[in-house]
Amino acid sequence: MLVIKNKMKFIRGILLIIIVLALAIWGLWLAISSLISIFSEDQDTNINTENENEPKQQTNSISNEATQVSSNVNVSNVNANIEVLQQWNLKLVNKDNSVNRDYVPELEEIDDGVMFDKRAISYLKDMINAMYKENITNVWVASAYRTYDRQEELFNNKVQYYKNEGNDQEEAEKLAQMLVQRPEMSEHNLGLAADFNKVDNDFEDTKAFAWLQKNAQDYGFILRYPKDKQDITGISYESWHWRYVGAEHAKVIKEKGFCLEEYIEYLKGTEEV
């Protein structure tokens, strides 16, 4: 019986040891698995955090830069255009934009008592000289600066002409203003407009007109009242009437097919191109 008891104790001891070892191994495996799982989750979290933060930082950076650039461009354009619109050579004069009667530019004679704005006369002379060099000599400035009194006289004469044709005062003034502006509403009061030759549309058939159509913008001049812009300018087509605006502006006006009214709106940002 003693031998059997000893065997039983021995077997129970072996089983207990096996169970303890099994539990120890299982516990160790659980601990290792937990550590692996925690480490993996930390790594994934860090990677995801970096991936999420990086695009946001980049997007925010790009957005801030774009906003700053856009803001700078818009502000600089607006400020630049305001300054440009205030330039003396871009002064818009028409039935809706008058000249103050006190305004008289400093003038210089271009030919036989015909006066032009002193700041622009050199460009007018250079343009005429360029035509002469190409043997276009039958060209002259018939009219340029006019006083307000002279402009009023011309306007009244034209009104009277239409009244003599049977029109009443109101209709005669409307017809007259299509050809001769009222005083303070004429570019001739600025001293920046030059009327060539006989001041009629026969000028359209001359070599001088063809040359001006091709080259006038290089000297800062534009055809002020084109054929297809009458509804905008309010003035009938005048092939003889050329206005100084400066070469930089004249080239854009020529390229885009604008009249001066359209160009002013373009600078303001209201004209779609």
CATH of residue 198 = 3.30.1380.10
Q: How many domains does the chain have?
A: 2
- Work out the percent of the chain whose per-residue pLDDT is above 70: 75
**Cα–Cα distances in angstroms (integers) from residue 51 to residues 45, 46, 57, in the given order:** 10, 9, 10
> Quick check: pTM over 0.75?
no
Is the pLDDT at 90 greater than 70? The verdict is yes
Of the residues 79, 103, 129, which one is the last residue of a structural domain?
A: 79
Same domain, yes or no: 215 and 95 = yes
Of the residues 79, 110, 126, which one is the last residue of a structural domain?
A: 79
CA distance 1 to 38: 55
Same domain, yes or no: 115 and 142 = yes
- Segment 39-89, tens digit of pLDDT: 555 555 454 544 444 444 444 443 444 334 333 334 345 555 788 898 999
- Segment 173-227, tens digit of pLDDT: 999 988 888 999 999 999 999 999 999 999 999 999 999 999 999 999 999 999 9
Domain with 57 in it:
1-79
The enclosing H or E element of 240 equals strand 238-244
The catalytic residues are 238
- For residue 126, being part of any structural domain is answered with yes
Same domain, yes or no: 41 and 114 = no
Same domain, yes or no: 52 and 108 = no
